[in-house]
Structure 1
Amino acid sequence: MKKAGRTLLIIIVAGVIFFGQRWYSYVNNKTSPYDEVGIQINSAMPGPIRKWGCDKLHANFASALPPYGCQAPDGKSWI
């Protein structure tokens, strides 16, 4: 039973590291704010973390329309 718990813990930690790194590289990119995988990961983040990511994207792409998850209710401005 301990081996199964340890294996599950390793899988969870590896997933957090993988998706965390993927999300961080998306919000710090300089090429495009419209990466589909990055948008999905950012949209699934808790509110304060998603807001921080959207702020980083807005700093890099100030003149672009915000991607899904970073849109204000009007759909045209950043949160």
Structure 2
Amino acid sequence: MKTLIRVVVMIAVAVVVVIGFRWYRYVTNTDSPYDEIGITLNSSMPGPLNSWGCAKLKTTFANSLPPYGCAAGDGTQWK
């Protein structure tokens, strides 16, 4: 039973690390703010992480339309 719990915990940690790295790579990218997987990950992050991610994207892509999850009001302005 201990081995099963250990394996499940290791898998959970690996999934969190992979998803976290993918999200971090999206919000610090310099190519495009419109990556579908990145948008989904950022919009599903808790409030403070989403706000930080949107702020990072805004500093890089201030002249672009904000992606889903970072738009305020009518969808043409950043949060």
TM interval, short-chain normalised? over 0.9
TM-score, normalised with respect to structure 1: 0.96
Residue 18 of structure 2 corresponds to residue 22 of structure 1: no
Q: CA RMSD in A?
A: 0.7
What is the identity, as a one-letter code, of the residue corresponding to 2:22?
A: R
2:65 is aligned to 65
User: Higher strand proportion, which one?
Assistant: 2
Distance in 1, Cα, partners of 2:6 & 2:43: 29
1:1-79 to 2 correspondences below 5 Å? 1-79=1-79
Distance in 2, Cα, partners of 1:33 & 1:68: 10
How far has the Cα of 1:52 moved from its partner? 0.1
Percent of aligned positions with the same letter in both sequences?
Answer: 56
Distance in 2, Cα, partners of 1:73 & 1:7: 45
Question: Runs of 5+ in structure 1 lacking a partner?
Answer: none
How far has the Cα of 1:18 moved from its partner? 0.3
Distance in 2, Cα, partners of 1:74 & 1:18: 33
State the 4+ residue runs in structure 1 displaced beyond 6 angstroms. Answer: none
3-state SS in 2 of match to 1:8: helix
Question: Runs of 5+ in structure 2 lacking a partner?
Answer: none
How far has the Cα of 1:4 moved from its partner? 1.2
